[in-house]
Amino acid sequence: MKPEKETITLMQTNTLLSVVMPIALGIIMLGLGLSLKTEDFKRVVDYPKDVLTGLFCQMLLLPAFCFLVATGFGLSPELAVGLMLLSASPGGPVANLYSHLSEGDVALNITLTAVNSILTLFTLPLIVNLSIGYFMQSGEVVPLQFSEVSKVFAIVLVPVTIGMMIKARWSAISKKLDKTVKIISAVFLALVIIAVVVKEKEHMADYFRQVGIAALFFNVLSMTAGFYIPRLFKLGKKQAIAIGMEIGIHNGALAIFIATNVLHKTAIGIPAAIYSLIMFFTAAAFGILVNIRKN
């Protein structure tokens, strides 16, 4: 490819990541809002054990597992921070879909996603900044500032709120929009992943070799722990499936957005891009395996 064409392609990719990425994230979160009701937040009080077990797995165990995977596989600093960023990101609408297909407690998924979307406003910068301090040398990446995180979650929470308002006031319209928004969300997520791959195409083979197996291992470990730990706490199978899906399927779009538009390091978004491709297949396999036995 000629230098001029390479420059044009890079500029187009940068535009896609900086302009289209916020739109993509907004549409994905609008879709989430269309599936939420205020009652979903009340489950924290009505079913505290289910919700607290899910939060324990996602907020505490998941980052700990991710740290062990990142260090155990000897990931490069940028990829290690990227995987930790992904572990700190909440679940999303895809987790709800897979939970439904696998006969999980979708209401629990929706509640966990709703609560996590708020809690990660505080936990995500903490985990990411600790990761940057541990894995990266001083000055390589500027730590996340609360003001920047607030802007990110404005992009996240405003569309969610709008979606919830549409669902509450115009239920029929929300049902019609729901399917369309999900399709558009999937298209935009695919475009974002493609943009990250194109921008880092010269290093993608190395990145995939370095983080591909680690991402797969982390994904399988997350879903397995997410299923069996709730069972140890005597939760029902439907709730265990829901938690397994919730902590195994992450909001990759959010992680990529923070990596590219806040931390300004596309390479940090690579683990999220690779993980987002892997999780569709592993989640399907997980759903089949946990339903082989009906008890």
User: Greater confidence, 25 or 165?
Assistant: 165
Measured CA distances, 221 to 29, 111, 214, 241, 255 (Å): 26, 23, 10, 14, 19
Confidence of residue 217 (pLDDT cuts 50, 70, 90): very high
If one counts the domains in the chain, the total is 1
Average pLDDT, the chain: 77
Determine the pLDDT at residue 164. Answer: 76
More confident residue, 24 or 131: 131
In a domain, 150, yes or no: yes
In three-state secondary structure terms, 91 is: coil
Write down the pLDDT at residue 8.
35
For residue 138, being part of any structural domain is answered with: yes
295 part of a folded domain: no
Domain of residue 249 covers 3-289
Would you give the DSSP letter of residue 60? I
Which of 54-68, 97-111, 177-191, 206-220 is most confident? Answer: 54-68
pLDDT of residue 284: 84
Phi, psi (rounded to 5 degrees) for 35: -100, 0
Q: Judge whether 294 lies within some domain.
A: no
- List, for residues 241-281, the tens digit of each pLDDT value: 889 988 888 877 788 878 877 887 888 888 888 888 788 78
Q: What is the pLDDT of residues 153-192, one digit of tens each?
A: 676 677 777 777 777 777 777 776 766 776 776 676 676 6
Q: What is the pLDDT of residue 120?
A: 80
What is the percent of the chain with per-residue pLDDT over 90, rounded to a whole number? 18
Asked if residue 75 belongs to a domain, the reply is: yes
Mean pLDDT check: name the lowest of 119-128, 198-207, 219-228, 240-249: 198-207
* Inter-residue contact 238 to 46 (CB < 8 Å): no
CATH at residue 219 = 1.20.1530.20
